[in-house]
Amino acid sequence: MIQKNSHKTDTQLYAMLSGTNAEKEAGFTELYQRHSQRIYQYSRRICGNDEMASDVLQETFLRFLNISVQRAEMTNIPAFLLRIARNLCIDMRKKQSHTVSSEFIEIPTHDVPFESKELRHLLVAALDTLPEDHKEAIVLQAYNGMSYQEISDATNVPVSTVRNWIVRGKKKLREILSPYIKELEH
């Protein structure tokens, strides 16, 4: 009889990675199913394309599996996975120029497709002007629904720093976009 792993905690599944091959496979599969979508979405928004995001996702879980052999205990697996993905995204951004795809910036369309599309492109361009840490914090909050504390855990910076990044980043976005939004309202 195969035991279901969906009721196990992440920590229990992580402990299975040091078990038999069957336990290792079952634990890894369940952790992957639980966290892969979030890691992919984060990577997609930071890297700007599907191929890079897929590469980051695969490399994140490979590194996670390799690290699990060395570390006996881990308490916050989602934050650890996000930290691996974050570092990989930073490395990829250093290797090539980076833009965010506008398809992931959600703006409601009210029978004004041209204006909405134009605003979406402006928002993407404005987001790209932010310092990388501000941009990342806003993406984590807006698209991944993460709290200041979760972002702090993932980026390994104090909560107060995360809060400052988000406040300053949003202020800068408002400054950049306010003339365009006023123009679209008329």
Residues 43-89 pLDDT 10s: 888 887 788 889 999 999 999 988 887 877 888 899 889 989 988 98
Nearest Cα to 23, choosing from 61, 31, 97, 59? 31
- In a shared domain, residues 80 and 142: no
Give the CATH number of the domain where residue 129 resides. Answer: 1.10.10.10
Specify the higher pLDDT residue, 47 or 108.
Answer: 47
Q: What percent of the chain is predicted at pLDDT more than 90?
A: 24
Domain edge (last residue) among 35, 66, 95? 95
Distance CA 59, CA 82 (A): 12
Q: Is the residue at 1 inside a domain?
A: no
Domain edge (last residue) among 95, 122, 138? 95
Q: Is the residue at 63 inside a domain?
A: yes
Specify the higher pLDDT residue, 179 or 152.
Answer: 152
- In a shared domain, residues 172 and 115: yes
pTM to 2 decimals?
0.63
CA dihedral 136, 33, 78, 142 (to 10 degrees): 30
Nearest Cα to 14, choosing from 68, 57, 70, 81? 68
Distance CA 39, CA 26 (A): 20
Q: Report how many domains make up the chain.
A: 2
84 and 134 Cβ atoms separated by less than 8 Å: no
Give the CATH number of the domain where residue 50 resides. Answer: 1.10.1740.10
Domain edge (last residue) among 95, 125, 152? 95
Q: Is the residue at 2 inside a domain?
A: no
Asked if pLDDT for residue 105 goes beyond 50, the answer is: no
- In a shared domain, residues 67 and 51: yes
**117: confidence class by pLDDT, cuts 50, 70, 90:** low
Q: What pLDDT is attached to residue 3?
A: 52
Instruction: Write out the residue range of the structural domain in which residue 43 sits.
Output: 10-95
- In a shared domain, residues 181 and 134: yes
